[in-house]
Amino acid sequence: MDLPHGSSVSINGARLVDRINELAQIGAIDGTRGCSRLAFSDADLEGRDLVVTWMRDLGLTVTIDAVGNVIASTSSDGAAGAVMTGSHIDTVGTGGRYDGNLGVLAGLEVIEATLAAGIDLQRPLAVAFFSNEEGSRYPPDMMGSLAYVGGMSVESVLEVKGADGTVVGQELERIGYRGPAPCPGAVPHAYVELHIEQGPVLDRAGLSIGVVEGVQGISWTELLLTGQSNHAGTTPMTLRRDPMAVAAAVTVAARDIALELGGTQVATVGSLTLHPNLVNVVPAHVTMTIDLRNTDEEALQFAERDLEKRTAQLAKAEGVEVKSRTLARFEPVEFDSRVVDQIEQLATTRGLSTKRMPSGAGHDAQMLARICPTGMIFVPSVDGISHNPAEHTDEQDLIIGTQLLADTLLALTEVTW
Amino acid sequence: MDLPHGSSVSINGARLVDRINELAQIGAIDGTRGCSRLAFSDADLEGRDLVVTWMRDLGLTVTIDAVGNVIASTSSDGAAGAVMTGSHIDTVGTGGRYDGNLGVLAGLEVIEATLAAGIDLQRPLAVAFFSNEEGSRYPPDMMGSLAYVGGMSVESVLEVKGADGTVVGQELERIGYRGPAPCPGAVPHAYVELHIEQGPVLDRAGLSIGVVEGVQGISWTELLLTGQSNHAGTTPMTLRRDPMAVAAAVTVAARDIALELGGTQVATVGSLTLHPNLVNVVPAHVTMTIDLRNTDEEALQFAERDLEKRTAQLAKAEGVEVKSRTLARFEPVEFDSRVVDQIEQLATTRGLSTKRMPSGAGHDAQMLARICPTGMIFVPSVDGISHNPAEHTDEQDLIIGTQLLADTLLALTEVTW
């Protein structure tokens, strides 16, 4: 189908960058450009309050739902039937200033520029920030948008317990962001999210825009490996039941599986804890996580099964007990081809170099894709560094991406599906 | 040479076991039979005070040296020229009640029984507990006995910083065990230490006594592996610099080296910490320890070189930086054959089943071996479990070992080298 193209607006790049930098002062990590604003923490609260203030300053209707998702709309009807954008403002423990924040503040900038231009919108515009996208403090990641689309009940969300022993519901009450708006939320007309790539592909290729076709499936598993703690000097190798030996071999196996499968498959052991963690003691148990991702669901399932099989074999050989628990599991997502085509076409019109690509990271957009036509725009991450205070995207790319977001959102206000 | 055999005394097994159980109440780990009395902690202080009270109650001369080693002697000249025994009363974080404590309290029992029997000793008897044998809080292990024999200066000991940020000198002052006695200390006539085996050899073979011929060499290395922290979903496997991938492969390599070398070689990764330790973040760096042991110095050096080489290769292939630091290094020790023969002969006289064996663990005796004829007696550890609250030795074996210690110490008072 052909999509009608309306006029667009010129966004104010300096205002965008100023807002990004001001928000980054909250939870700033000393001596770096990074941020630490874990979901529902005091820093998250302070960040939320700042962004809500900006939303209200534009005269937008701001709603807060039962899991803390915040939506600002040009219509008093909120997100219903709106062309929506957004992302998240929580960060990992040692994160950057662009991950998530760019998408939210770019959306705010597009709305401010549109309102200033006095454009008569055929549909409202809305910008959201969803709760706990990172999942660093409470599993699963993308919690807020998952609840927004009805994929997880409010009750289940509020009961989630974090690694630090706190509970989502209590923390949400504590920071005052358990709101009255209904969850699941209203269905938008369309959803487009601008995000930094968080990977090296665009930067290495010297391209401006990633036209995102879909999101990799994500599988998070926690293993508890229990062996026999003992003196490191006196137990012959062949008589050991060493859970760290199994953990190491499983880590190597996960990597091997990813390399053997190839394609978009990745595997990461990002968290691992030994007990009692002493130089001269064979550990009693090891807790570890494995993060597997693939754009292809069948391949991802193969990787999961293969790793489970190898883990069982390795543990059996060492006499170590395995307890396995799924922390998060999302199938790969394909974005709406009409939205994807629209983004690509508008980027080309602006003379921007583009690449169609999958997202290696999970994003709120993949949840919104369950309820409305959805797409994503990527801008480059220098050296692919993200989830790290050294995360960086050039100002020019932030501005180019935000302008393309404006073009896309305004075009979508004129589209009927 | 022939050693003269004098009369011995009968030790009081019930008194021995009572003292062991009373000391084990200090730092007791709830719901287990284990103890947590890390060196120079409050629990260590309480344990020290109890044992010193027992020493003074027997009318012994108690001296405390500059690194907190405590020696009780039947002579006002202390350890000089004495037949000495002893061990340690500090434990690992989650330790058992016999490791070290048996040797100290058995020595006390032998002296009490000897004094009660009114035997006219040709040389004094002395019993010591040495500071920080475990090395769990401050490296190196066997710190106190190492300083006693002049292998580490008092100044160096007092400056050692622990993983918790505390400093030995300050903690020693705090608990009031920085004493006036000279360190290095007086040279004994001989030193014999009774200890649980901490391994499965005697228990599996159903034997009563291990006649220890020497101690395995110990090599502790800490590796700091630094890579590039990044998002776990967006960085292709081939573009990663993942320090956990290297840590896992090094752990597997250490195990392979031990299995390939065979003999008494063991390798343990007991401590490993990731940063930032999050499920969806490729770690920035990993700190890990490797504990290598062998009775043969050449083989141990081969294992060290081989592991260093493989680590360098693995790190280079992943683009990860390696910083390596030696936490402890002790060459294998051979005990004095005259003392070893004496122990074996006396055990046989008592009708005990014996096995000549090396020690897989480090012991204070290996330090004393530098300054006087030295030997060790092992009693069985059930299932070889040690450095674990489940550590256990049958009461009968505790008593048999203590009686053999009495026979040996009294025989050595009549020996002239």
Set of chain A residues whose Cβ sits within 8 Å of the Cβ of B248: 247-249, 251-252, 255, 269
User: Nearest residue of B to residue A389 by CA position?
Assistant: B229
Domain A217-330, CATH number (from 1.10.1200.10, 3.30.70.360, 3.30.70.20, 3.40.50.1100):
3.30.70.360
pLDDT for A328: 87
- Cβ distance A69 to A63 under 8 Å? no
Q: How far is B197 from chain A (nearest CA, A)?
A: 8
Kindly state the average pLDDT of the residues B92-99. Answer: 95
pLDDT for B249: 98
What's the complex ipTM?
0.77
**Would an 8 Å CB–CB cutoff place A75 in contact with chain B?**
no
Question: A209-215 and A125-129 as β-strands: parallel, antiparallel, unpaired?
Answer: unpaired
Query: Are A13-215+332-412 and A217-330 in the same CATH fold?
Result: no
Asked whether the predicted pLDDT for residue A4 surpasses 80, the reply is no
Q: How far is A387 from chain B (nearest CA, A)?
A: 5
- Cβ distance B226 to B319 under 8 Å? no
Q: How far is B162 from chain A (nearest CA, A)?
A: 13
Of the partner residues A200, A239, A247, the one whose CB lies closest to the CB of residue B239: A200
Asked whether the predicted pLDDT for residue A261 surpasses 90, the reply is yes
pLDDT for B1: 31
CB neighbour list of residue B351: distance below 8 Å, 6 or more residues apart:
none
**Would an 8 Å CB–CB cutoff place B392 in contact with chain A?**
no
Asked whether the predicted pLDDT for residue A5 surpasses 50, the reply is no
Q: What is the pLDDT of residues B46-76, one digit of tens each?
A: 999 999 999 999 999 999 999 999 999 999 9
**Would an 8 Å CB–CB cutoff place B116 in contact with chain A?**
no
Which of A 240-279 lie inside 8 A of B, CB atoms? 242, 244-245, 247-249, 251-252, 255, 258-259, 265-274, 276-279
Kindly state the average pLDDT of the residues B80-90. Answer: 98
Flag if B281 and A92 touch (Cβ within 8 Å): yes
pLDDT for B6: 56
Kindly state the average pLDDT of the residues A221-239. Answer: 91
**Would an 8 Å CB–CB cutoff place A166 in contact with chain B?**
no
Half-sphere exposure of B195 (CA within 13 A, CB side): 31
Q: Where does the pLDDT of residue B7 fall: very low under 50, low under 70, confident under 90, or very high at 90 and above?
A: low
Q: Where does the pLDDT of residue B330 fall: very low under 50, low under 70, confident under 90, or very high at 90 and above?
A: confident
Domain boundaries, chain A: 13-215+332-412, 217-330
Percent of chain A residues topping a pLDDT of 70: 98
User: Which of B234, B265, B294 to mutate to test binding with chain A, by most A CBs within 10 Å of its CB?
Assistant: B234
Flag if B200 and A135 touch (Cβ within 8 Å): no
Q: Which fold has domain A13-215+332-412?
A: Aminopeptidase (3.40.630)
Q: What is the pLDDT of residues A354-403, one digit of tens each?
A: 999 999 888 999 999 999 999 999 999 999 988 889 999 999 999 999 99
Q: What is the pLDDT of residues A291-311, one digit of tens each?
A: 999 999 999 999 999 999 999
Domain B13-215+334-412, CATH number (from 2.70.98.10, 3.40.630.10, 3.50.50.60, 3.30.1330.40):
3.40.630.10
Q: Is the pTM of this model over 0.90?
A: no
